[in-house]
Amino acid sequence: MNAAIFFVVGIAVVLQLTVAHQMQELGAPFNFVLAGAVLLGFFYGNYRGVAIAVFIAGLVLDAYSGAPYGTITAGLLAAATVPAMISGVVPREHFLHFLLYGIAGTLSFYGTVLITMKAANFSFSIPWTAAAQAIMVAIAGMVVLYGIYQWSILLKNRRNGR
Amino acid sequence: MKAPRNKKKWIMISTVMIALLIFFARIGNTAPFENGIARATAPFTASAAYAWRTASGLGMTAFDMKNAREEVGVLREENQQLQETVMKNAELARENEALRAQLGVGAARARTLVDAKLIAFDPLSFTHYAVINRGARDGVREQMPVIMPGDVVFGKITNVRETTSEVMLITDNENKVSGVTAADTASGVLAGIQGSALLLDLIEKNAAISLNELVVTSGLDGVYPRGLSIGTIIKIISEEKGIFQQAHLAPAYKNTLPATVFIITGQQ
């Protein structure tokens, strides 16, 4: 299971460094690694494995970012940790459980990133509009991916006559 | 009972790690570690960038084929206009040379350029940076301007490693550039704003600016030489009470993963 987590996070890192910029230019600043962290944590429940994988991914991404080193790592670690803390509040089968999980992960990531950037450089002005846009795109993207996953399961069950 | 205790334990570890990372980001003494990771991963990132460029290039080729017939007509017309412009420019160049000779002014200064490939873009959407495959061993230094073919400003070097460098794009909020309209009627200071637009600020209230006007570097900021294309004006903000005007610009550089950029390493 850990190998699958590392593989998915690795692919997400590559996408983040190449494709994400073009998506951002189109007005959809989607974060593949954040989505990977939230979805893997939700589906596999291996929060610790996900946290280790995104910690390493964060160290790599930080080397390519203009933000102070450690910013993305701290954000991703928060995104893997905070949802795990609140998991269990809503029954797992309920759709709201994923929504809550996704919102918690996204807010933790962007909250930590902005706090770290502000802490590193007090003159940094928080780009509220860009942050709100990034949060909305991330949550919407995760819900779409979750929907696709659930739909594929439904199709599979139907095919098997269940 | 064992699982919740383990969960609590690693949540505590994560929290401590996050606090430590924020602390290290604040003190900012991580360059050797950061450079080591960048050096180790740069070949993989460069390969991924190459693969993505090729794949997206193929996609674009298919898309272009669809609109090819329409574009051929437009391009033929443009070509005719450009040929006329080239002839006029050649005449002007000859005239310019003759005038320089008469005035005893030397030829226009030549630039020394180093070509570089873009290997990654900033993974965060709040900062606009890119990483190129040239570093200190290629003669790259901090604050050197980076341009694209056609004398279009791309950004400036902010962090140099041995084999790679970080470029702060012109659209980054921290990248202040002194700009002037191509007609030299208005000047101001440029910086990135939300998204990938640019804001030309501190333009004199009575200065004449118009939509679609080209803005170039003025050379006054000490980083970018004069005459590099920055972008075109897409919106003008002029309030009655204000002392200055502002203008929004669309950057001239194409927001894709371009194959090659050039670092201006010197001017003769």
**Chain A residues within 8 A of B255 when measuring between CB atoms:** 21-22, 25
Q: Where is pLDDT greater, at B268 or B229? A: B229
> Which pLDDT value is given to residue A60?
93
User: pLDDT of B198-221, one tens digit each?
Assistant: 888 888 888 888 888 899 999 888
C-beta atoms of B24 and A117 within 8 A = no
Q: How many helices (H) and strands (E) does chain A have?
A: 6, 0
User: pLDDT of B3-57, one tens digit each?
Assistant: 455 677 778 888 888 888 888 877 777 788 888 888 888 888 888 888 887 887 7
**Chain A residues within 8 A of B135 when measuring between CB atoms:** none
CATH number at residue B185: 2.40.10.350
ipTM, two decimals = 0.82
Note whether B234 and B248 are within 8 A (CB). Answer: yes
Note whether B132 and B164 are within 8 A (CB). Answer: yes
C-beta atoms of A130 and B195 within 8 A = yes
User: pLDDT of B166-186, one tens digit each?
Assistant: 999 988 888 889 999 888 888
User: pLDDT of B121-160, one tens digit each?
Assistant: 888 888 889 999 999 999 999 999 999 888 889 999 998 9
- Report residue B101's pLDDT band, with 50, 70 and 90 as the boundaries: confident
C-beta atoms of A74 and B7 within 8 A = no
Q: B263: which strand partners?
A: B114, B146
C-beta atoms of B38 and A64 within 8 A = yes
Tally the domains of chain B: 3
Structural domain boundaries enclosing B99: 67-103
The CA distance from B129 to B117, in Å, is: 14
> Which pLDDT value is given to residue B114?
92
> Which pLDDT value is given to residue B2?
42
Q: Which of A15, A17, A122 to mutate to test the interface with B (most CBs of B within 10 A)?
A: A17
Looking at the fold, whether B188 and B235 belong to one and the same domain comes out as: yes
**Chain B residues within 8 A of A22 when measuring between CB atoms:** 56, 255-257
Q: What is the dihedral sign for C-alpha B153, B237, B210, B71? A: positive
Q: Where is pLDDT greater, at B104 or A67? A: A67
Q: In chain A, whose CA is at the least distance from the CA of B9?
A: A48
- Report residue B251's pLDDT band, with 50, 70 and 90 as the boundaries: confident
The total of other beta-carbon atoms located within 10 Å of residue A20's CB is 22
* Nearest Cα residue to A41 out of A119, A108, A110: A108
CA distance A153 to chain B (A): 28
Instruction: Please indicate, yes or no, if residue B127 is contained in any of the structural domains.
Output: no
User: pLDDT of A35-85, one tens digit each?
Assistant: 999 888 888 777 788 888 999 999 999 999 888 888 999 999 999 888 877
Note whether A132 and A68 are within 8 A (CB). Answer: no
Mapped onto helix, strand or coil, the DSSP state of residue B246 is strand
The CA distance from A13 to B17, in Å, is: 21
**Chain B residues within 8 A of A25 when measuring between CB atoms:** 196, 255-256
CA distance A32 to chain B (A): 9
**What is the identity of the amino acid at A42?**
F
C-beta atoms of B129 and A65 within 8 A = yes
Looking at the fold, whether B185 and B233 belong to one and the same domain comes out as: yes
Model pTM score: 0.80
- The two tokens of residue B230 are 């920055």
| Location of structure tokens 């191509």 | B182
CA distance A158 to chain B (A): 35
Among candidates B10, B56, B168 on the partner chain, residue whose Cβ is nearest the Cβ of A48 = B10
**Chain B residues within 8 A of A114 when measuring between CB atoms:** 126
Spell out where B185-238 has E strands: 187-192, 198-204, 214-217, 229-237
**Which run of H or of E encompasses B40?**
helix B31-66
- The two tokens of residue B140 are 């790259």
Instruction: Please indicate, yes or no, if residue B22 is contained in any of the structural domains.
Output: yes
C-beta atoms of B48 and A55 within 8 A = no
Mapped onto helix, strand or coil, the DSSP state of residue B139 is coil
- The two tokens of residue B260 are 């090659």
Instruction: Please indicate, yes or no, if residue B258 is contained in any of the structural domains.
Output: no
- Report residue A150's pLDDT band, with 50, 70 and 90 as the boundaries: confident
Domain assignments of chain A as residue spans, ordered by start: 2-159
C-beta atoms of B256 and A61 within 8 A = no
Q: Is the pLDDT of residue A101 over 80?
A: yes
> Which pLDDT value is given to residue B1?
36
Among candidates B22, B28, B121 on the partner chain, residue whose Cβ is nearest the Cβ of A21 = B121
C-beta atoms of A64 and B131 within 8 A = yes
**Chain A residues within 8 A of B25 when measuring between CB atoms:** 67-71, 74, 116-117, 119-120
The CA distance from B83 to B88, in Å, is: 9
Looking at the fold, whether B47 and B86 belong to one and the same domain comes out as: no
By the 10 Å C-beta count (0-12 exposed, 13-18 middle, 19+ buried), B86 is classed as exposed
CA distance B81 to chain A (A): 31
DSSP per-residue string spanning B94-117: HHHHHHHHHHTPPPPPPEEEEEEE
**Chain A residues within 8 A of B120 when measuring between CB atoms:** 17-18, 64
